[in-house]
Structure 1
């Protein structure tokens, strides 16, 4: 383990946690990765983030930046370096209720955001788990429970506050620093530490939730019908599904969310999902939006769920692709496979409007493996799908690198992302911190 012994800046007194500190066991790791950093820095405001970054750079040790801790790549911790933990920057403020504009700091968790906005009748579609931190999700995309109705989280970001690699603080929006603003929405990990977001929320109080379990046929026909239903569904309907073992067979466990305030609207919207075949269980409820990302989700992240994850986007779902998904979930290298609807409002946005260019696809497929299975097992499970996907979502990729970069940021998008990363972080501080050190952004 590296030793960080330089004098601590006065602003960070009491806010640097080293091994032996009683706080260290709760701060050393992410949800998926156990880390052994030399110290964790806990800045409480933007100025202290800048001070923490300058201090970390002066040490010459590896740097990691953490907003929530679920980060699948494990890059939000390290061994022997310094972690800048943003958890103390967690304010959620409604700036203007008529325009639904809210300010959310990067260290807030989405459960707290939902809880804070509920009294105003507002919500931000923002992933599917309340313990996820705002910063990582809101710079990568944000495939939330209302994704087909609302779009991605990044599609509603109106401005950001960013600490750059040299410690300067800038505000970026569509007029001021527009290239930085473009990159932050989809490729923000490589440009700086985003400490706050101004986001346009959506009107939402109660939503419909259907939980449906059906038998998943080995020939992929159930998965294919699921994709067909979502492609034809009204935008109010978004859904996520998991393929799970069920004795010697497999089930498709679906959670469908309808952006509607009455069961009279909800039941017709989810009815086609009940016709997928082999219905085993179902339930339809009307719940407050915070129930989707409840505060019960909040927990320390101590490396309790080691895993490796990859993903791909699909513009359609043919029979061969559906069968490949079933093989990934039920073959000898069995992976946990999740399906998430996209499309709808996501595809209203022009491909070059943000650094997330995937604006024609309909389904996100995510595969994860857990110990004792490792990278070889994940690759084997994914092999049948690797050539069938059309792009990837950066927040569900455990192994950053050139191949993942090319899938997440294809073609002209990748060229532009590399240029912005190089312009705002010429030394590659954040690219390295986020695990993209091998991506050749110089001279692209």
Structure 2
């Protein structure tokens, strides 16, 4: 029998329009939305109840861990948002093996602060307000990426709520196909509610802020990449190209996984000579300073933008294209992140993130009143040098983006597994291939017999009744 009321486990956890909390929960970092309701489950079982409730009402589902997602897909209009922010525990399961359990709704600032007393850290993006779930299912290009690899490379097990409301634990030995797909393409398979991750022993890091003039011919950008290719893996950098007369300022943040400034400085110093030096500073800081709790803020659609990205192996043509994108007539904000190192140690077939040979992640962004047309014009030459893309920095999810993010055999396997684990498309991302391949012949859905959206849900969405809290304006 189809439920017509909120399950008892979720009583008081539904926020609808009219509730004073709604304004702070309706949107993402980049987009404003008007969902019919936002559910705030506190346990994996409550997440499963939320999925069933949405399906029974025929409501589209958006899942949110942090809300930073550039595509804005962690909210919707007229549907239900399952907000995981209350699932935010961080526990050290085994200090000796550095095994950590992190729930998907935690922010990386909280993770860093919790692990610091143990001398542990997880390389996990570059901002403390980013949620664990979205980053740790898409990849995870963090401040230690060249020495540590991607966040997904150190995930050892996951807990997942599937589209039928089943809660599953997956690892290399149990549900290995599910474990494969959630490391790089998790959004279309289910809701990952918790991760077991092998952390790294890190207390302090060398941190340098450097500004150099970058020449229009791309030589500065090329020298930056060449130094990273030669440098010890302990060095990871991020850079922004900002117009500066006929050239640009290259503002570099360099992080060295080293416990002493004496060890860090020799790796950083060559970066001071890649262009005319404008400013620099080097410090030794605790790792949590990189993803500080000072970063924490609400996401209310305050930063609209259009973003795309390219994974590159840097050469002269790519460096010139990046400078053109940053300084040309249709200019974009250009960010560069060094990858390579430990990222490229992993076999491309081991996870759903197949890009294991490039050395640079380049990101292009435009802001209103500019839109996609301006970004395409600015990025055309960069795109011509690209041979891949990263899902977490793609603001326009579509089939073309899918093919760049999940190329070839990886894309075919991702599409197959999305349909196998979610045959009714409950969680299907906007970039999912239309229709997609059918599940492998002879391989039924892992939860065969689950009612489909058509059979088990009404043909049109039912409105969500206001909760008692909403009526009171609590």
Structure 1 residue 274 displacement after superposition: 0.8
Q: Which residue of 2 aligns with 1:442?
A: 437
Q: Which residue of 2 aligns with 1:184?
A: 182
Q: Determine helix, strand or coil for the equivalent of 1:170.
A: strand
Instruction: Pick closer, same or farther for the CA change 1:437–1:156 going to 2, 3 Å.
Output: closer
Contact kept, 8 Å, 1:401 with 1:439, in 2: the verdict is no
Contact kept, 8 Å, 1:131 with 1:299, in 2: the verdict is yes
Structure 1 residue 45 displacement after superposition: 0.5
Q: Determine helix, strand or coil for the equivalent of 1:387.
A: helix
Structure 2: 5+ residue stretches without partners: 440-474
Structure 1 residue 438 displacement after superposition: 4.7
Structure 1 residue 244 displacement after superposition: 1.2
Whether 1:321 aligns to 2:315 is no
Whether 1:405 aligns to 2:418 is no
Contact kept, 8 Å, 1:405 with 1:439, in 2: the verdict is no
Q: Which residue of 2 aligns with 1:308?
A: 306
Q: 1:238 aligns with which of 232, 236, 244?
A: 236
| Matched residue count | 437
Structure 1 residue 135 displacement after superposition: 0.2
Structure 1: 5+ residue stretches without partners: none
CA distance in 1, matches of 2:434, 2:384: 21
CA distance in 2, matches of 1:189, 1:417: 11
Whether 1:124 aligns to 2:122 is yes
Q: Which residue of 2 aligns with 1:112?
A: 110
- Cα deviation code 1:322-355 (max 9, x no counterpart): 1110111111221110000000000111110000
- Cα deviation code 1:238-281 (max 9, x no counterpart): 00000013355410000000000001101001111011121000
Instruction: Pick closer, same or farther for the CA change 1:36–1:22 going to 2, 3 Å.
Output: same
- Cα deviation code 1:147-191 (max 9, x no counterpart): 000000000000000000000000000000000000010000110
Structure 1 residue 22 displacement after superposition: 0.7
TM-score norm. by structure 1 comes to 0.97
Q: 1:252 aligns with which of 239, 242, 250?
A: 250
Structure 1 residue 418 displacement after superposition: 1.0
Q: Which residue of 2 aligns with 1:421?
A: 418
Q: Which residue of 2 aligns with 1:281?
A: 279
Q: Which runs of 4+ in 1 moved over 6 A?
A: none
Q: Which residue of 2 aligns with 1:58?
A: 56
Equivalent runs, 1:31-180 vs 2, <5 Å? 31-180=29-178
What RMSD, in angstroms, separates the aligned Cα atoms of the two structures?
A: 1.2
TM-score norm. by structure 2 comes to 0.91
CA distance in 2, matches of 1:114, 1:125: 9
Q: Determine helix, strand or coil for the equivalent of 1:430.
A: coil
Q: 1:391 aligns with which of 371, 388, 393?
A: 388
CA distance in 2, matches of 1:131, 1:99: 27
Q: 1:222 aligns with which of 220, 223, 226?
A: 220
CA distance in 2, matches of 1:327, 1:71: 27
Equivalent runs, 1:184-223 vs 2, <5 Å? 184-223=182-221
